[in-house]
Amino acid sequence: MTVITTTKDVENLTLTLVAEFDATPDRVWEVWEDPRKLEQWWGPPTFPATFTRHDFVVGGESRYFMTGPAGETSRGWWRIDAIDKPRRLDFANGLAGDDGEATPGVDPMAGYVTFEATDTGTRMTAVTRFIDAAQMQTMLDMGMQEGMTQAIGQIDALLAPAPV
């Protein structure tokens, strides 16, 4: 059973998600490292992601696009800032233009992810930090919103008592 908790810090513009998975840290790490696995979860179900580049080393970059129900795409990028396999991953995640490259003037979000072994598997803590409200709004405007809105109904169903 997967236990998920979140903490929103409105003042510091930080979102923290803690999820406990029934798998070793190595296996949870794989869903980040292997681009074919990463694209199975990074985008919402109605906005699946395709990673065209995933250079999973410190300083390495990724490029991806997400495809919506009407075929529309939105593009993004990652830059890996720190890796300590399978314990810690720091990365920047920003918006990209149609050429796939970073959109000038839009700062990336910062992601800090840690993986801890527990008695039953792995506790993954993913912290997302935003710079300001305008950045948050821009990120939300990038197109994934439609998929997210549709997905909220699915999430509500998932959050019902039955375990994953």
Partner 1 sequence: MVVDSALANDEIDRIFGALADSTRRDILGRAIRQEQSVSALARQYAMSFAAVQKHVAVLERATLVTKERRGRQQIVYANRATLGKTATLLDNFEQLWIQRAKQIANIIADPKGE
List contacts with partner 1 (CB under 8 A). 2, 4, 6, 8, 10-11, 13, 15, 17, 19, 21-23, 27-28, 31, 37, 40-42, 44-45, 124, 126, 128, 132-134, 136-137, 139-141, 143-146, 148, 151-152, 154-155, 158-159, 164
What is the closest distance, in whole angstroms, from the C-beta atom of residue 14 to partner 1 in the complex? 9
Task: Please report how close the Cβ of residue 39 comes to partner 1 at its closest, in angstroms.
Answer: 10
Instruction: Report the C-alpha gap between 1 and 4 in whole angstroms.
Output: 10
> Do residues 77 and 63 make contact, with C-beta atoms less than 8 angstroms apart?
yes
Gap between the Cα atoms of 116 and 139, Å rounded: 29
Smallest distance from the beta carbon of 26 to partner 1, in angstroms? Answer: 11
Residue number with CB closer to partner 1 (28 or 83): 28
Q: Which is nearer to partner 1, 101 or 132 (CB)?
A: 132
Cβ–Cβ under 8 Å, residues 45 and 67:
no
Of 59 and 116, nearer to partner 1 (C-beta) is 116
How do strand 14-21 and strand 3-9 relate by DSSP bridges? antiparallel
Q: How far is 124 from 73, CA to CA, in rounded Å? A: 29
